[in-house]
């Protein structure tokens, strides 16, 4: 089980160096659209650490990953009465995403906020750009979307239309290894962030169709500092797996490879790991989180709400002397 004692009893005002890393393989389960215009974001970079042959990888920016997770969490908080329902931005407790921060809810305290004149709170959840495990040539597909006329053809009175649009999609089964790091959260706030990750399945430009992603958590690591990056994890997985040509990589094979790669990468880091939860122990813990009853979830969320409020009362509401 995850060592709950590792986490702070209260969110501290200054960094305490208690890091919890959630190592995840994000895998698309449909055609995903991660960009708003026609082109996917991509970069050219060495395939692996050992295999230095350059390859093109689709990239998934930080906000594309965290925004849907935050919105999912906020929905849950509202559902369980932890987040104010008020849409009135004059109400002190109202918290409206990207419009007004209440500064006291689990979302504001965990993921941070910035308000024009009312100060800011640094995010305690770190995410970074994720890179596709395999090459662009096998991870994307261009769809031509045409808008035919009412008779089903592309011509009107003999004139052929140009109502054709091209969209670049990420193919199903594309894997984006990603480390999500939380710093100095309480156990309840950590479970809140983890639960958001486990619950979120829709990423990308459209929220109603496509973009389904499953987050396979392969390790939770508690340590006194930051561990390896997304890119190093991706390249190291590539070295172990050496995916060939145009074949997709099975998620189960990537999960298996991660059990070799993660301990090897941790051995190279210069941080001290308090706990590395993987395999059967990790799955038992994740099943407990997923299997929470409504009462258990309500209690975790309300305690996370209390933790956030306590931090607000101690360090945000109370302006220290001499500071304005």
User: What sign results for the dihedral spanned by CA atoms 6, 187, 61, 123?
Assistant: negative
CB of 105 to Zn ion, least distance (A): 3
Whose Cβ is closer to Zn ion: residue 102's or residue 221's? 102
Residues in 197-236 that interact with Zn ion by CB under 5 A: none
Total residues contacting Zn ion by CB under 5 A comes to 4
Mapped onto helix, strand or coil, the DSSP state of residue 18 is coil
Whose Cβ is closer to Zn ion: residue 98's or residue 246's? 98
102 scored as a contact of Zn ion (CB under 5 A): yes
CB of 110 to Zn ion, least distance (A): 10
User: What sign results for the dihedral spanned by CA atoms 255, 259, 265, 269?
Assistant: positive
**Residue 207 backbone phi and psi in degrees, to 5:** -100, -10
**Residue 165 backbone phi and psi in degrees, to 5:** -130, 140
CB of 97 to Zn ion, least distance (A): 9
Q: Per-residue x/- mask for Zn ion, residues 80 to 99, rule CB under 5 A?
A: ---------------x----
Whose Cβ is closer to Zn ion: residue 105's or residue 231's? 105
77 scored as a contact of Zn ion (CB under 5 A): no
CA distances from residue 287 to 1, 293, 302 in whole angstroms, order as listed: 11, 12, 21
CB of 117 to Zn ion, least distance (A): 17
Whose Cβ is closer to Zn ion: residue 196's or residue 258's? 196
Whose Cβ is closer to Zn ion: residue 22's or residue 83's? 83
108 scored as a contact of Zn ion (CB under 5 A): yes
CA distances from residue 92 to 11, 103, 113, 312 in whole angstroms, order as listed: 22, 9, 15, 13
Angle formed by the axes of helices 62-79 and 294-311, to 10°?
110
CB of 94 to Zn ion, least distance (A): 9
Using only the alpha carbons of the chain, give its radius of gyration.
22
CB of 136 to Zn ion, least distance (A): 38
CB of 90 to Zn ion, least distance (A): 15
Instruction: State the Cα–Cα distance between residues 79 and 85, nearest whole angstrom.
Output: 9
103-111, 117-125, 226-234, 241-249 -> range binding Zn ion (CB under 5 A): 103-111
User: What sign results for the dihedral spanned by CA atoms 92, 108, 101, 300?
Assistant: negative
CB of 107 to Zn ion, least distance (A): 5
- In contact, 175 and 26? CB cutoff 8 Å: yes
Q: Which residue from 105, 178, 180, 300 is in contact with Zn ion, where contact means CB under 5 A?
A: 105
CA distances from residue 313 to 10, 14, 251 in whole angstroms, order as listed: 12, 15, 45
Question: Cβ neighbours of residue 156 under 8 Å, at least 6 residues apart?
Answer: 149
106-114, 194-202, 229-237, 287-295 -> range binding Zn ion (CB under 5 A): 106-114
Whose Cβ is closer to Zn ion: residue 67's or residue 274's? 67
4-12, 45-53, 100-108, 130-138 -> range binding Zn ion (CB under 5 A): 100-108
Q: Which residues bind Zn ion (CB under 5 A)?
A: 95, 102, 105, 108
């Amino acid at each position: 089980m995850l060592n709950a004692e590792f986490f702070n009893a209260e969110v501290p005002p200054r960094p305490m160096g208690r890091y919890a890393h959630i190592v995840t393989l994000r895998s698309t389960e449909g055609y995903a659209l991660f960009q708003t215009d026609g082109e996917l974001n991509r970069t050219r970079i060495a395939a692996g650490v050992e295999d230095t042959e350059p390859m093109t990888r689709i990239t998934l920016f930080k906000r594309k990953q965290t925004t849907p997770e935050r919105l999912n969490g906020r929905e849950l908080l509202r559902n369980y009465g932890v987040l104010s329902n008020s849409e009135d931005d004059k109400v002190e407790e109202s918290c409206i995403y990207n419009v007004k921060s209440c500064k006291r809810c689990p979302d504001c305290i965990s993921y941070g906020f910035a308000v024009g004149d009312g100060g800011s709170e640094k995010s305690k959840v770190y995410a970074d750009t994720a890179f596709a495990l395999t090459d662009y040539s096998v991870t994307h597909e261009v769809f031509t979307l045409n808008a035919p006329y009412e008779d089903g053809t592309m011509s009107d009175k003999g004139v052929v239309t140009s109502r054709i649009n091209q969209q670049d999609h990420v193919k199903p089964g594309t894997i984006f290894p990603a480390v999500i790091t939380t710093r100095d959260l309480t156990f309840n706030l950590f479970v809140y962030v983890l639960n958001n990750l486990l619950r979120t399945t829709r990423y990308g430009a459209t929220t109603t169709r496509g973009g389904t992603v499953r987050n396979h958590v392969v390790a939770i690591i508690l340590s006194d500092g930051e561990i390896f990056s997304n890119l190093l994890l991706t390249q190291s997985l590539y070295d172990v797996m050496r995916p060939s040509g145009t074949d997709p990589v099975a998620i189960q094979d990537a999960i298996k490879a991660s059990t070799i790669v993660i301990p090897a990468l941790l051995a190279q880091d210069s941080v001290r790991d308090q706990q590395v939860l993987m395999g059967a122990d990790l799955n038992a813990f994740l099943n407990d989180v997923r299997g929470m009853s409504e009462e258990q979830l309500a209690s975790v969320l309300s305690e996370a709400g209390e933790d956030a409020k306590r931090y607000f009362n101690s360090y945000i509401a109370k302006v220290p002397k001499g500071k304005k």
